[in-house]
Amino acid sequence: MPEEGRETGGDKSLLARSNIGIVVVVVVVAVVVAVVEEEVAVVLIVVVAAVVVLVVGVVIVVVVYHYYYFFVYFIIIIINNIIIIVFYYYK
């Protein structure tokens, strides 16, 4: 039990730092896409979907694989979301 509590504490601080990164990435992507396409409503829907996928993916990764695999899967999730957004607008 003490071990689980210690890991949870570490994951919380890591999640706090990663949430800042999520916000920055999502805002940058949203601004770029909104400036290029000028379809704000569609952009907001895509961004919200991307945020939901990121949050769910982060929670799954932290719970299943613990924090030391976190960064690899976090980067993969971000890349997947960017690819989805690019294909959505340029297919």
C-alpha 31/C-alpha 45 separation (Å) is: 13
Is residue 69 classed as helix, strand or coil in its secondary structure? helix
- What distance lies between CA 19 and its chain's CA centroid? 8
Burial of 34-70, coded b for 16+ CB within 10 Å and e otherwise, reads: eeeeeeeeebeebbeebbeebeebbeebbeeeebeeb
Length of the chain: 91
| Per-position pLDDT tens, the chain of length 91 | 444 444 444 455 555 555 666 667 777 776 666 666 666 666 667 777 777 777 777 776 666 666 556 667 777 777 788 788 777 777 6
Where do the structural domains in the chain lie, given as residue ranges?
2-90
pTM of the model: 0.32
